Amino acid sequence: MKKPEKIMKILLKEFKPYAKPTVRQTSETKNPFKTLISCLLSLRTQDKNTAKASASLFKVANTPEEIAKLPIKKLEKLIFSSGHYKKKARTLKHVSQILIKKYNSKVPKTKETLLSIKGIGPKTANIVLSFAYEKNVIAVDTHVHRIPNRLGLVKTKTPEQTEIELMKIFPKKYWKEINTTLILFGKNICVPISPKCSTCPIKKLCQRVGVERSR
């Protein structure tokens, strides 16, 4: 068994009992729009803030029409806990309006189309495709970019490069699980500063690239 597959098998087993991140939980409602909005709220904030903002917003509005109709000040108040709430409120409004105008209020199913909507970047597009539409893509966030580099599996400088390299080394059957698994791993053990190497289930497979101190 190759190293990347061995790593994934160990981590999938290790983190199976853990609560999934908010965006992944939201996707289980089988509502692509809510997955998209929750992902946009998750940008540059902690998961607990995403959970709070998503719950607050979805109690009031969970369709493109409902969000588009909300006064901007009310929308800002609802998503305040997510941070960068003024910019995010404008993004949610714009995305909702575009979905109504161009796509019959449906979230597109292709990366190219999703990326054509201002406010939706590669990470968000891939999360929607992977979580909401169960397509075989790898959504790369800070954890998914950082950890494979630390492990020595890839040597990349951007998330876009990381996505390409991970697709080369991981079997397709793992692609949809890489994001959730590495987020949980990155939050609980392989943290950015002073990772918990002493309790890491894959420490024997890690090159510890850039790790200056650990616990």
Q: Which residues of 73-97 are buried (b: 16+ CB within 10 A; e: fewer)?
A: eebbebbbbbbebeebbebbbebbe
Q: How confident is the model at residue 29 (pLDDT cuts 50, 70, 90)?
A: confident
Q: What is the DSSP letter of 146?
A: H
Task: For residue 81, give its domain range.
Answer: 31-132
Q: Which two tokens stand for residue 209?
A: 């690239």
pLDDT at 152: 97
pLDDT digits (tens, 9 = 90+) for 151-165: 999 999 999 999 999
Q: What is the DSSP letter of 190?
A: S
Residues 63 and 87 in one domain: yes
Task: Report the distance separating Cα 108 and Cα 99, nearest Å.
Answer: 8
Task: Report the distance separating Cα 127 and Cα 36, nearest Å.
Answer: 8
Predicted TM-score of the model (pTM): 0.91
Task: Report the distance separating Cα 123 and Cα 121, nearest Å.
Answer: 6
Residues 114 and 191 in one domain: no
Which residues are annotated as catalytic? 123, 141
Q: What is the DSSP string of 16-82?
A: TTSPPPHHHHHHTT--HHHHHHHHHHHTTS-HHHHHHHHHHHHHH--SHHHHHHS-HHHHHHHTGGG
* CATH code for the domain in which residue 195 is found: 1.10.1670.10
Please compute the mean of the pLDDT values over residues 31-38 and round it to a whole number.
Answer: 97
Residues 115 and 174 in one domain: no
